[in-house]
């Protein structure tokens, strides 16, 4: 028997792992000191934060003093882009990002545009890969920032960040990557990637919500966006979320340790799911890379022709399967996803898209059950769709 509901929305968030919860617990109660206090409680809290910083720095291969704790991926993205733009505006005001960045980047870029910065977008192909030749052709003397995510949250494309960093540096610009989705499944060594800044978030890797980090290479100038106390070496004010940071580091430690095993396992679920949907459901389009090695191991994103993504989402929800339509951050809005539009997916198909993102607790049985439910739901919804009727009548003549 399958236990329902089934969770296929790990790109939106993941459940906290038991190990992290256990490590966090005392920092809510008997060791609840403020990490900046100068007594035993403060020292205990600071020691825990230092430990967490060492752990994560070790995993991403940076110095502990190059890692800054934040409230999550959104804040880290905001800080990297806005902070660098403001610090470097004397040098230039040209900023380049990919068109498939998370809303935290896109919205920040729009705000900077209003302040007088010039934002230019990289080009991506129909699978979401950045066009490196195009990037080479748009970097300029006044380009100060080049930002591209390591892996896309919606269609799973893994970007050539190493090459992007080389192009950025040759132009004298900083290179930033959002590694929120890549953490836990890909190797995210900042030295190897060659980036100057990198965002991470805890709740996408089985850690607690509301905590993340920004790697800032020593020597990189970036302005603070949250000013206040002396925390985080005076660069990010606010009382440190000690239990959050402790849980984040423990989750990251486990994610790094289990990385290859988990990536292999979730990609086996994904591959079977993709194979079956393509074979058994007519009129579907897999969005993102066809080559499984170049897409996030846990990601499958499909457009179902003639149907709205939301109606599939509701049908699946009724059958006890939790998925996401478009990107979680834009769900509830009727705008088609900016990611699919950038890939050139026609608007009609973009409206019918659903993201399935698997996790380490999912099973093959759940995958097979989902395929059966999808087949029935899609069939039923299409039979109610006038567009589909018109098309199938044409086919039948």
Ligand X SMILES: *Cc1c(COP(=O)(O)O)cnc(C)c1O
Question: What is the number of alpha carbons within 13 Å of residue 312 lying toward its C-beta?
Answer: 29
Q: Which stretch binds ligand X (CB under 6 A): 66-74, 217-225, 265-273, 374-382?
A: 66-74
CB atoms within 10 A of CB 228: 11
Q: Given candidates 9, 66, 159, 178, which one binds ligand X under the rule CB under 6 A?
A: 178
Q: Given candidates 14, 44, 181, 311, which one binds ligand X under the rule CB under 6 A?
A: 181
CB proximity list for 56: less than 8 A, separation 6 or greater: 67, 200, 213, 248, 249, 252
208: left (phi over 0), alpha (psi -120 to 50) or beta: beta
Are 248 and 68 contacting, i.e. CB atoms less than 8 angstroms apart?
Answer: no
180 binds ligand X (CB under 6 A): yes
CA–CA gap between residue 349 and residue 316 (Å, rounded): 19
In the complex, the smallest distance separating the C-beta of residue 74 from ligand X, rounded to whole angstroms, is 3
Q: Concatenated DSSP letters for 321-339?
A: EE-EES-GGGTTS-SPPHH
CA–CA gap between residue 299 and residue 350 (Å, rounded): 17
14 binds ligand X (CB under 6 A): no
Q: Given candidates 14, 78, 153, 262, which one binds ligand X under the rule CB under 6 A?
A: 153
In the complex, the smallest distance separating the C-beta of residue 178 from ligand X, rounded to whole angstroms, is 5
CA–CA gap between residue 319 and residue 394 (Å, rounded): 32
**x-or-dash string of contact with ligand X, 192-221, rule CB under 6 A:** ---------x-xx-------x---------
Q: Is 239 helix (H, G, I), strand (E, B) or coil?
A: coil
Nearest Cα to 155, choosing from 378, 348, 342, 360?
342
Q: Which stretch binds ligand X (CB under 6 A): 78-86, 162-170, 175-183, 312-320?
A: 175-183
In the complex, the smallest distance separating the C-beta of residue 188 from ligand X, rounded to whole angstroms, is 13
Closest to ligand X by CB, 70 or 362: 70
CB proximity list for 158: less than 8 A, separation 6 or greater: 150, 151, 182, 186, 289, 294, 295, 296
Q: Given candidates 73, 128, 297, 352, which one binds ligand X under the rule CB under 6 A?
A: 73
Nearest Cα to 151, choosing from 124, 132, 117, 178?
178
146 binds ligand X (CB under 6 A): no
CA–CA gap between residue 294 and residue 339 (Å, rounded): 17
Closest to ligand X by CB, 299 or 303: 299
Q: Is 9 helix (H, G, I), strand (E, B) or coil?
A: strand
Closest to ligand X by CB, 130 or 373: 130
Closest to ligand X by CB, 135 or 149: 149
326 binds ligand X (CB under 6 A): no
In the complex, the smallest distance separating the C-beta of residue 83 from ligand X, rounded to whole angstroms, is 16
CA–CA gap between residue 154 and residue 262 (Å, rounded): 20
Closest to ligand X by CB, 212 or 247: 212
Q: Is 214 helix (H, G, I), strand (E, B) or coil?
A: strand
In the complex, the smallest distance separating the C-beta of residue 369 from ligand X, rounded to whole angstroms, is 26
Q: Given candidates 149, 161, 269, 340, which one binds ligand X under the rule CB under 6 A?
A: 149
Count of residues interacting with ligand X (CB under 6 A): 15
Are 98 and 148 contacting, i.e. CB atoms less than 8 angstroms apart?
Answer: yes
Q: Which stretch binds ligand X (CB under 6 A): 156-164, 174-182, 237-245, 310-318?
A: 174-182
336 binds ligand X (CB under 6 A): no
Residues linked to residue 295 through DSSP beta bridges, in sequence order: 157
Element (H, E) at 386: helix 386-396
102 binds ligand X (CB under 6 A): yes
Told to judge if 175 belongs to the known catalytic residues of this protein, a careful annotator would answer no
In the complex, the smallest distance separating the C-beta of residue 270 from ligand X, rounded to whole angstroms, is 17
74 binds ligand X (CB under 6 A): yes
Catalytic residues: 329
- Which residues are near ligand X by CB under 6 A? 72-74, 77, 102, 104, 149, 153, 178, 180-181, 201, 203-204, 212
């Amino acid at each position: 028997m399958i236990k329902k509901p089934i969770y296929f929305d790990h790109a939106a968030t993941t459940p906290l792992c038991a190990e992290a919860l256990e490590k966090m617990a005392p920092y809510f109660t008997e060791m609840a000191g403020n990490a900046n206090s100068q007594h035993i409680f403060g020292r205990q809290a600071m020691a825990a934060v230092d430990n967490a910083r060492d752990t994560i720095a070790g995993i991403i291969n940076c110095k502990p003093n190059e890692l800054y704790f934040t409230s999550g991926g959104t804040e880290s993205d905001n800080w990297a882009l806005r902070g660098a733009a403001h610090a470097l505006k004397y040098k230039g005001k040209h900023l380049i990002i990919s068109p498939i960045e998370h809303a935290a980047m896109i919205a920040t870029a729009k705000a900077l545009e209003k302040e007088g910065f010039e934002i230019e977008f990289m080009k991506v192909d129909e699978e979401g890969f950045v066009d490196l030749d195009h990037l080479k052709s748009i970097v300029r003397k006044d380009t100060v920032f080049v930002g591209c995510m390591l892996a896309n949250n919606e269609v799973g494309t893994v970007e050539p960040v190493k090459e992007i960093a080389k192009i950025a540096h040759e132009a004298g610009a900083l290179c930033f990557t959002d590694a929120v989705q890549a953490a836990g499944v890909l190797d995210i060594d900042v030295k190897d990637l060659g980036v100057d800044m990198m965002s991470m978030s805890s709740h996408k890797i089985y850690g607690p919500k509301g905590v993340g980090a920004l790697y800032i290479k020593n020597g990189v100038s970036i302005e603070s966006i949250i000013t206040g106390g002396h925390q985080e070496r005076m660069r990010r004010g606010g009382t440190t979320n000690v239990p959050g940071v402790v849980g984040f580091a423990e989750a990251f430690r486990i994610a790094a340790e289990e990385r290859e095993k988990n990536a292999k396992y979730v990609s086996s679920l994904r591959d079977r799911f993709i194979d079956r949907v393509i074979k058994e459901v007519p009129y579907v389009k897999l969005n993102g890379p066809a080559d499984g090695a170049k897409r996030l191991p846990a990601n499958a994103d499909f457009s179902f022709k003639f149907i709205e993504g939301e109606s599939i989402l509701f049908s699946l929800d009724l059958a006890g399967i939790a998925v996401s339509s478009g990107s979680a951050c834009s769900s509830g809005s009727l705008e088609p996803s900016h990611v699919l539009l950038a890939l050139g997916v026609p608007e009609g198909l973009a409206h019918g898209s659903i993201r399935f993102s698997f996790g380490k607790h999912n099973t093959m049985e759940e995958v097979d059950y989902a395929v059966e439910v999808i087949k029935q739901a899609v069939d039923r919804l299409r039979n109610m769709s006038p567009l589909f009727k018109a098309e199938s009548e044409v086919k039948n003549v």
